[in-house]
Amino acid sequence: MQTRGLIVLLMSKAAGHPTTSIDFIDAQSSAGISQRQRSLAEMTEMIYSAHLIHRGILNLQPSLLLQSKKAMDLHFGNKMSVLSGDFLLASVWKGLGELRDTKVVELMATAIGDFMEGQFVIETESVVPTINANKDFWEERNFLRVGSLQANSCQSALQLSGHEESLQLKGYDFGKNIALGWQAFTELQPFIDSYMHPLNTAPTFDLRSAPVVLHIENNGASLDEVVLDKSGDSGDDIQQQQPQYDFQKLHSLVRNGPAIDKTRQLIREYTDKALEALEGFPKSDASNALSNIVFAIREQ
């Protein structure tokens, strides 16, 4: 779902255009959203798509590349992923230049930089969170991964329409908090949605998802102390360096512990902040639509 671009468009329409805006006439003739704001929404989706494509690159050993046709095909797929993602980002930079607003370029460059930093943090993390596994750890990590793009895109939309700094910051706060609330909501689903994630199948979830992190914080113990599969202790050095974790056991512990309610409370905190930021915008169909999105996350 192209939700990130949709939120940017709704934010643009909810804020409206001051009569002094250079895009006032353009916005009035196109449902309250200027062409520059539409382009910004498209670029927001392109940035996220480029990030997903780049994340799909496989870490292949150089010694394996010429040993089989399958390995060569994977290597070719990596090249195509790099080129495709870079092409989208190049298109974004070209489009940002055409917006003719240096502050918007700076904001969106910050979002792209945060994306790259977030991915670097993920790649350099230890196998599991042990020391700083708490709400602050989770928020910092996911702001880089999802929050920064939505926050800076919403602020950029208001910058393009010529709004004051105070309203731009409200747009930034709304984008940041709805993105974090949405991320927590998504990470909660493997533990509560038995239709999409049946209990009789192998659970799939991130070891740094909000429920797991809050479970660790609540129990005051590292993940390996709680769910390390002791059957993997014996064996060669590779098995010892890459311990096996009992995901089924962890899923049961988290599902039956207080972390589920704590995650729901976390979602409520972020959605409360998003609704508070939205109060600074005039009442309209667009602001009501944004509120409905927030409540759809909040009420699950």
* Residues of the chain by 3-state class (helix, strand, coil), percent to 5: 70, 0, 30
- pLDDT for the residue 286: 93
pLDDT in tens, 61-101: 666 555 677 777 787 888 888 889 889 999 999 999 999 99
User: Of all residues in the chain, what percent carry a pLDDT higher than 70?
Assistant: 82
CA–CA distance, 184 with 209 (Å, rounded to integer) = 8
Token match 């192209």: residue?
2
Q: Pick from 112-126, 228-242, 259-273 the range whose average pLDDT is largest.
A: 259-273
In sequence order, what are the residues at sequence separation of 6 or more whose Cβ sits closer than 8 angstroms to the Cβ of residue 3? 182, 293
Identify any residues that bridge with 228 across adjacent strands, giving them in sequence order.
Answer: 245
CATH architecture of 3-298: Orthogonal Bundle (1.10)
Rounded Cα distance between 223 and 228, Å, is: 7
Reported as a pLDDT band with limits 50, 70 and 90, residue 127 is: low
Residue 49: C-alpha distances to residues 36, 56, 76, 152, 192 (Å): 20, 11, 20, 17, 28
Instruction: Specify the DSSP element, H or E, that contains 208.
Output: none
Residue where the block lists tokens 């910050």 = 110
Q: What is the DSSP string of 267-284?
A: HHHHHHHHHHHHTTS--S
pTM here is 0.86
The answer to whether 230 touches 299, Cβ cutoff 8 Å, is: no
Domain boundaries, the chain: 3-298
Q: How confident is the model at residue 128 (pLDDT cuts 50, 70, 90)?
A: low
Residue pair 271/178 in contact by the 8 Å Cβ criterion: yes
Task: Judge whether 55 and 119 are in contact, CB under 8 Å.
Answer: yes
